[in-house]
C-alpha cells in the first residue's frame, strides 16, 4: 500500500474493487484488532482477554484477487479454506444502490459472533468463532488452538517479535511489521502456557533446478505439449493482467513516484492472445534457475514463493507493475517518453510497451522458489526507445476498434 497526500493508493490492478472499499475494510479490521490489544473488545460477558504481539494488517493485492475470483463465482455458501488462507463469507440483499454503508458494517458483523459464542479465558478457538478468528491467522485456527497470545498490547518495539525491525504504534498498541525471519513467532499449541511465545525455526535450502514433471498434468488447451512450462490458469492470468495494466496506463492519470500523473496513450494495443512460441523462450530462461535478473531486453524475470503457478504469476505482475509507484516516466512537454536505466521501471515498461502485441510466459519450480519469466515481442524494452506514444486520450489513434475506451484492437 502506498500513501499519497494522506490518501491511500493501494496500487492494485483489480478493476472490480475501489480504494474506498479497500479503505473501509482495512480501517475497520484494524480498529477491531486494536480493541484486542488494549483489552476493550466486547465478549459475551465483559470484554475479551487482552492480547499481545497483535499486528496491524496491511492490504494485500494478491489476496484481493483471490477474493474477487470467489465473489465473481457468485457462491451461495462459503468457499473452502486452503492451506494458504482462510475465507470469511456473507450473502445479503442490498436495499440501496450504494453498497458502502453495508460494507462498513460487514467486518463488525463477522467479528460480532464472539459476543454470542463467547471467548474463553484461554482464548482457544471453538465452534462458532471461525469468522472472529480468521483475521488473526493466515488460516482459521483449529479447535482448541489459541487465537492470539495473552498479554498486553505493545508500548515499544521490543514487544513486537513476529517480524524483525517491527515497530509499535503506541496510540493503538498494535505492532507494525518489519520483515519475516526464519524464526516465526506464533501462539503455542493447545495445552501449553498461552502467555509464552512459541518459536518455529526453519532452514533455507540451496536453490537447485527441479527436474521432475507434475504427475497427471492436464493437457493444455492453450499450448499442447507444453504442460510442464506453465498452467492454463496461469496463462489466462498473465494475459488478463497484462491487458488490464495496459488499459489503465492507456487512460493516463497513474500517480508516478515523482508525484506526477502519467499521460494517456492514444494507440495502446491490446495483446490479443497468448503466444506459445514465446513461452518456450521464457521457459528456457526460467529453467536455468538463475540467481539474479538476467536483464534481457524483451524479458521480465521474477522469483517468489507461492502455492501455485497462478499465484506466482500474480505476484510477479504485481511486482513489475508497481515499479511505477517508486519510479517514473519522462513525459514533460517535448520529451518522447524514452526508457532509461535511471528510471527504474524496466519491468513495468515491458508490460505496457504500446505497440507490442506478443507475450508468452513460463513458471518453473527451482527448489522452493518459482521462477517467473515473460518474453515479449521484438524491440520491447529497448533502452532509448519510447515506452509509449503520448496523446490527449486513449484510443485517439486506433486504426480500427477500441476496447473499453482504452485498448486498440490489432
The 10s digit of each residue's pLDDT in 317-327 is 999 999 999 99
| 176, 166 Cβ separation under 8 angstroms | yes
What is the share, in percent, of the chain residues with pLDDT greater than 70? 81
Give the pLDDT band of residue 6 (cuts 50, 70, 90).
very low
CB burial of residue 290 (10 Å; 0-12, 13-18, 19+): middle
Task: Give the helix, strand, coil percentages of the chain, each rounded to 5.
Answer: 30, 15, 55
CA distance 402 to 265: 13
- Mean pLDDT value of segment 204-211: 40
- Report percent pLDDT > 90 for the chain: 53
Query: pLDDT tens digit string along 105-152?
Result: 777 778 888 889 999 999 888 888 888 887 765 555 667 788 899 999
Give per-residue pLDDT as tens, 284-297: 999 999 989 998 88
**pLDDT at 172 (0 to 100):** 94
CA dihedral 22, 24, 27, 29 (to 10 degrees): -90
Q: What does the chain come to in residues?
A: 410
Provide the pLDDT for residue 265.
96
All domains of the chain in start order, with CATH: 2-150 (3.40.33.10), 232-408 (3.40.33.10)
What's the average model confidence in pLDDT over 41-63?
89
- pLDDT greater than 70 at residue 373: yes
Please check the confidence at residue 204 and state whether its pLDDT lies above 90: no
User: Using CA atoms, how far apart are residues 257 and 322, in angstroms rounded to an integer?
Assistant: 10
- Give the model's confidence band at 89: pLDDT under 50 very low, under 70 low, under 90 confident, else very high: confident
pLDDT tens digits, residue range 261-290?
999 999 999 999 999 999 999 999 999 999
Query: Environment class of residue 310 by beta-carbon count within 10 Å: exposed (0-12), middle (13-18) or buried (19+)?
Result: buried
Q: How far is CA 204 from the centre of its chain?
A: 23
Residues 141 and 147 sit within 8 Å (Cβ to Cβ): yes
Is residue 206 pLDDT above 50, yes or no? no
Mode of pairing for the β-strands spanning 369-376 and 299-304: antiparallel
Query: What does the pLDDT look like over 333-343, one tens digit per residue?
Result: 878 999 999 99
In this prediction, residues 171-185 reach a mean pLDDT of 68
Contacts of 71 (CB under 8 A, 6+ apart): 16
Give 98 or 183, the one with higher predicted confidence.
98
Radius of gyration for the chain, computed over Cα atoms and rounded to the nearest angstrom: 24
| Residue 201: predicted pLDDT | 37
Distances (CA, A) of 6 to 19, 106, 169: 13, 25, 18
Give me the residue label for grid cell 485517439: 396
pLDDT tops 90 at residue 252: yes
Pick from 388, 357, 353, 347: which is nearest to 264 by CA? 388
pLDDT confidence of residue 51: 94
C-alpha span between 160 and 52 (Å, rounded): 8
**What are 7's strand-pairing partners?**
4
Query: Mean pLDDT, the chain, as a whole number?
Result: 83
Termini Cα distance of the chain: 34
The arithmetic mean of pLDDT across residues 156-170, rounded, is: 87
pLDDT above 60: residue 213: no
pLDDT of 10 above 90: no
Question: Which three cell numbers, joined as nine digits, stand for 153?
Answer: 498490547
- 8 Å CB contact between 133 and 36: no
3 state DSSP class of 150: strand
Q: How confident is the model at residue 181 (pLDDT cuts 50, 70, 90)?
A: very low
pTM attached to this predicted model: 0.51
Residue at grid coordinates 499465484: 311
Cα–Cα distance measured from residue 139 to residue 137, given in angstroms and rounded to the nearest whole number: 5
Report the pLDDT value the prediction gives residue 112, as an integer from 0 to 100: 84
Amino acid at each position: 500500500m502506498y500513501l499519497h497526500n494522506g490518501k491511500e493508493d493501494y496500487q492494485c490492478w483489480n478493476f472490480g474493487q475501489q480504494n474506498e472499499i479497500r479503505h473501509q475494510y482495512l480501517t475497520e479490521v484494524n480498529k477491531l484488532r486494536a480493541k484486542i490489544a488494549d483489552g476493550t473488545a466486547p465478549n459475551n460477558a465483559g470484554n475479551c482477554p487482552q492480547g499481545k504481539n497483535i499486528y496491524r494488517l496491511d492490504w494485500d493485492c494478491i489476496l484481493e484477487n483471490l477474493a474477487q475470483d470467489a465473489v465473481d463465482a457468485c457462491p451461495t455458501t462459503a468457499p473452502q479454506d486452503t492451506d494458504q488462507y482462510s475465507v470469511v463469507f456473507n450473502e445479503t440483499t442490498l436495499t440501496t444502490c450504494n453498497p458502502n454503508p453495508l460494507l462498513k458494517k460487514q467486518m463488525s458483523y463477522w467479528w460480532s459472533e464472539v459476543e454470542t459464542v463467547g471467548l474463553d479465558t484461554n482464548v482457544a478457538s471453538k465452534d462458532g468463532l471461525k469468522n472472529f478468528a480468521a483475521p488473526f491467522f493466515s488460516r482459521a485456527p483449529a479447535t482448541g488452538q489459541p487465537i492470539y497470545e495473552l498479554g498486553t498490547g505493545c508500548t515499544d518495539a521490543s514487544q513486537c517479535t513476529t517480524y524483525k525491525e517491527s515497530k509499535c504504534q503506541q496510540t493503538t498498541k498494535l505492532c507494525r511489521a518489519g520483515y519475516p525471519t526464519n524464526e516465526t513467532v506464533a501462539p503455542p499449541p493447545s495445552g501449553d502456557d498461552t502467555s509464552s511465545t512459541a518459536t518455529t525455526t526453519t532452514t533455507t535450502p540451496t536453490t537447485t533446478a527441479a527436474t521432475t514433471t507434475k504427475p497427471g498434468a492436464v493437457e493444455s488447451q492453450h499450448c499442447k505439449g507444453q504442460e510442464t512450462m506453465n498452467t492454463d490458469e496461469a496463462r489466462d492470468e498473465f494475459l488478463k493482467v497484462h491487458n488490464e495494466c495496459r488499459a489503465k496506463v492507456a487512460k493516463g492519470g497513474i500517480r508516478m513516484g515523482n508525484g506526477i500523473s502519467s499521460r494517456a496513450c492514444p494507440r495502446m494495443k491490446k495483446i490479443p492472445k497468448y503466444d506459445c512460441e514465446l513461452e518456450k523462450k521464457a521457459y528456457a530462461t526460467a529453467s536455468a534457475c538463475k540467481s539474479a535478473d538476467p536483464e534481457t531486453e524483451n524479458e521480465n524475470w521474477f522469483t517468489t514463493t507461492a502455492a501455485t503457478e497462478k499465484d506466482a504469476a500474480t505476484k510477479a505482475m504485481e511486482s513489475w507493475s508497481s515499479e511505477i509507484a517508486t519510479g517514473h516516466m519522462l513525459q514533460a512537454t517535448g520529451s518522447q517518453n524514452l526508457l532509461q536505466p535511471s528510471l527504474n521501471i524496466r519491468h513495468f515498461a515491458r508490460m505496457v510497451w504500446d505497440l507490442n502485441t506478443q507475450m508468452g510466459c513460463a513458471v518453473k519450480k527451482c527448489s522452493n522458489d518459482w521462477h517467473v519469466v515473460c518474453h515479449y515481442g521484438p524491440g520491447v524494452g529497448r533502452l532509448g526507445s519510447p515506452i509509449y506514444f503520448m496523446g490527449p486520450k486513449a484510443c485517439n489513434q486506433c486504426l480500427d476498434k477500441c476496447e473499453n475506451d482504452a485498448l486498440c484492437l490489432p
